[in-house]
Amino acid sequence: MTPRTNDTIEISERSGTAFRLSKGDRLIVIDPRGEQVADLLAFNAEDLDEVISSGRTLDYAETIYLTAGHKLYSNRSNVLLTIEEDTVGRHDFLLTPCSTATFDHFYPTLPRHRGCFGNLAAALEPYGIAPDRIPVAFNCFMNVPVDGETGKLRVLPPISKAGDRIVFRAERDLVIGLTACSAPDSNGGTFKPIHYRIEPAG
């Protein structure tokens, strides 16, 4: 469950995975075909009650659009991940992973799907992380523009192209959850895989 090589690993469409990342490791998340979203969660491996926090991170970054140089903070105001590289520049940190309930809400005529929420819950269960502990995810490549006047938000296809990537450095030992998103609106109506690679610290 903890890939330690430089091999590229595929998360197949509408699925998810979890793995450990050691302090100093780099996690490269790649959109292999373009216009696909990967929901990312990070928990402190030494104390799973510490988890990435959109509210802390947006407060410190003073922007809703995070990119290279920004840090992802925990609910205890510690840095869990630093964004080192980003070939896209548009990701979302406002919305929670899609779930059965969001499918019922947004896609009532489509077959139900457990979504990224269900995929993350299943992948994180072996680590002892309960579904209720899943917060707002850092949604790599997700394109959620906000109208500054009205506040209205829209979920548009990502602007990522095939091969685009975002690179994170682990600032602590972490448990990571990562998906290839299951919601039609997030990726322009298609379902595609996500690739990732871990570059070990030393």
The yes or no reply on residue 108 touching its own copies (CB under 8 A) is: no
Q: Which helix (H) or strand (E) holds 120?
A: helix 115-124
The yes or no reply on residue 23 touching its own copies (CB under 8 A) is: no
Q: Which of residues 66-85 bind its own copies (CB under 8 A)?
A: 75-77
The yes or no reply on residue 161 touching its own copies (CB under 8 A) is: no
The yes or no reply on residue 55 touching its own copies (CB under 8 A) is: yes
Instruction: Give the Cα separation of 183 and 137 in Å (integer).
Output: 14
The yes or no reply on residue 134 touching its own copies (CB under 8 A) is: yes
By CB neighbour count within 10 A (0-12 exposed, 13-18 middle, 19+ buried), where does 66 fall?
A: buried
The yes or no reply on residue 148 touching its own copies (CB under 8 A) is: yes
The yes or no reply on residue 147 touching its own copies (CB under 8 A) is: yes
Residue number with CB closer to its own copies (49 or 125): 49
DSSP 170: E
Instruction: Give the Cα separation of 152 and 149 in Å (integer).
Output: 8
Quote the least distance from Cβ 43 to its own copies, whole Å. Answer: 11
The yes or no reply on residue 36 touching its own copies (CB under 8 A) is: no
* Tokens, residue 38: 């990967």
Give the interface segment with its own copies, choosing from 121-129, 149-157, 161-169, 174-182 (CB under 8 A).
149-157
Chain-centre distance for alpha carbon 55: 15
Backbone angles phi, psi at 29, to 5 degrees: -105, 125
Say if CB 59 and CB 97 are below 8 A apart. no
Interface positions with its own copies (CB under 8 A): 49-50, 53-56, 58-60, 62-65, 75-77, 94-96, 99, 101-102, 105, 130, 132, 134-137, 145-154
